[in-house]
Amino acid sequence: MSELEVRELRYFVAVAEELNFSRAAQRLGMAQPPLSKAIAQMESRLGVRLLERTTRQVRLTTAGQVLLDQARIAVDAVHAAARRTQRAGQPTPQLVVAVKPGGDAGLLGEILAAYRGSGAQLPPPEVVVGGSGEPIAMLRDGRADVALLRSPFDDRGLDSETLVVEPRLAVLPTAHRLARRRRLRLTDLEGEPIPRWKGAAPSATAYYTGSDGAGDGLAPATHPEGPLVASVEQLLEVVALGQAVAFLSLSTTERYQRPDIAYRPVTGLSPSAVMVAWPETSRSAAVAAFIQAAHNVAAHHPTHLTALA
């Protein structure tokens, strides 16, 4: 059996993610007939069906799902290898740290100070602040060496360590009927629309909507889909306008105090964990030093995993 080429894997990932040959071809910048032919040739060479095609829909087979999972890893690894090789050849090495606004629970400044003060001859850190989903994408494709991320996230190909765990609070407009209460339960928010984060995977959507497991022993509440958001600032505007309620970590709510927004503790809501993550193949002394600095800072950081009065 001939080995699959990276180009073929890219083709298959596009089709498997879009589940539509026309959209996949447009995404790849090619015509649909050669794309369909390439997928058929892959199936012939592998001797298995990857997709179930009807006139109305395209679905992944069990074998197709396995190939999608593995193909994503392979394509990411090839892209990352090229970028990391190019960066390693730069005359002035750097440690690139990726983070999104509010994604560090206020730890990053202390971590950077500890890293710089370690006494070792280490490359200077460069912090890149990206939007939702960007830090992990940078880590995967080789643009970043290490990242601070909030769980849940897709950890394929990555190692990680939890730094702090903190509660999440309900985010309500001050005029909301529940804003007068000191504490809520998830079931109190039954039927309230909750914003959807752009590009969020199903596991992340379950987390953002509080349906990833009820800690109070009750079934998770169900929520209509609220507006699509791409930032905390956009989410707060949506809530303030009365279009939805939401959940945010304690440290994030402390950063965004507004007179038209109320934050309330919620019994049964899963917490938020801030984690340091890096490629599992990394052998960088700078990455190891950053991880150690993060661990040391977190060890002396007050835990947020406490009941709120």
- Tens of pLDDT along 241-271? 999 999 999 999 999 999 999 999 999 899 9
Q: What angle do CA 132, 223, 256 make, to 5 degrees?
A: 45
pLDDT for res 221 = 59
Cα–Cα distance measured from residue 276 to residue 24, given in angstroms and rounded to the nearest whole number: 34
Q: What is the pTM of this model?
A: 0.74
pLDDT for res 219 = 53
In the CATH scheme, what is the code of domain 92-164+273-299? 3.40.190.10
Which CATH number among 2.30.30.240, 1.10.760.10, 3.30.43.10, 1.10.10.10 corresponds to the domain 6-85? 1.10.10.10
Q: Is 62 exposed, middle or buried (0-12, 13-18, 19+ CB in 10 A)?
A: exposed
Other C-beta atoms lying within 10 Å of the C-beta of residue 244: 22
Looking up tokens 């090229």, which residue turns up? 82
Nearest to 119 by CA among 299, 301, 292, 297: 292
Domain extent listing, the chain:
6-85, 92-164+273-299, 168-270
Spell out, as residue ranges, where the chain has pLDDT lower than 50.
Answer: 1, 214-215, 217, 305-309
Cα–Cα distance measured from residue 98 to residue 191, given in angstroms and rounded to the nearest whole number: 36
Domain 168-270 sits in which CATH superfamily?
Periplasmic binding protein-like II (3.40.190.10)
Measured N-to-C along each axis, helices 108-116 and 285-299 cross at an angle, to the nearest 10 degrees, of 130
Q: CA 249: distance to chain centroid?
A: 15
Cα–Cα distance measured from residue 214 to residue 196, given in angstroms and rounded to the nearest whole number: 19
Question: Does 6-85 match 92-164+273-299 in CATH topology?
Answer: no
pLDDT for res 155 = 86
